[in-house]
Amino acid sequence: MENLLFKDVYIERSHKETDEVIAMETSAFLEEKISFLIEKDHIAEYIYVEMDAFTKLKVEGVCIELDDIFRTYNVMIGLPVQKKHEDKIKSYFNDILHSDELKFAAMFNQNDGLWDINFTLNYVEAFDDNMTVKEALTVIYNVINNLIQLINEK
């Protein structure tokens, strides 16, 4: 299953302030440690990833960036589900994210019909900052997939 997740992966490294693409990466980048973003030369970057597995969840792509102040990894997604699912979305993230700090933000974007969701990856129990990018993306995929399954329950 894991190899199927990473079929047809597209990876960009971009500058946080300007969104200028720094590099388009190959799938070999998946083996880099996620802590790559903490390194002095890369702290001003974020990673943008598109892959078939996210597309099947109706998520166009995922951004991962380091919060410069708290040194935590933030994940940003656009989730195309109806606004009426607000309680399920917020309850889900409150349940799975373990911290007393601000764990997530979820706002419905009326123009796009998407939930703009930002969550702190460090607070997901399965996450470890020694993971590779591939392992971190697997955790993110599982978070999104489990949320969608919850939303689809009657």
Rounded distance between C-alpha atoms, residue 42 and residue 14, angstroms? 10
Q: Which residues of 49-62 are buried (b: 16+ CB within 10 A; e: fewer)?
A: bbbebbeebebebb
- Domain chopping of the chain, boundaries: 2-152
2-152 domain in CATH 3.30.1460? yes
**Token couple for 89:** 């979305």
pLDDT tens by residue, the chain, 154 residues? 456 678 789 999 999 999 999 999 999 999 999 999 998 889 999 999 999 999 999 999 999 999 988 899 999 999 999 999 999 999 999 999 988 887 899 999 999 899 999 999 999 999 999 999 999 999 999 999 999 999 998 6
d(CA 51, CA 61): 7
Rounded CA gap, 27 and 84, in Å?
Answer: 37
Q: 65 Cβ partners below 8 Å, 6+ apart?
A: 16, 37, 45, 46, 47, 73, 74, 76
Contact in structure between 77 and 107 (CB atoms under 8 Å): no
Contact residues for 146 (Cβ-Cβ < 8 A; gap 6+): 92, 96
Helix H or strand E segment including 11: strand 10-15
The answer to pTM > 0.85 is yes
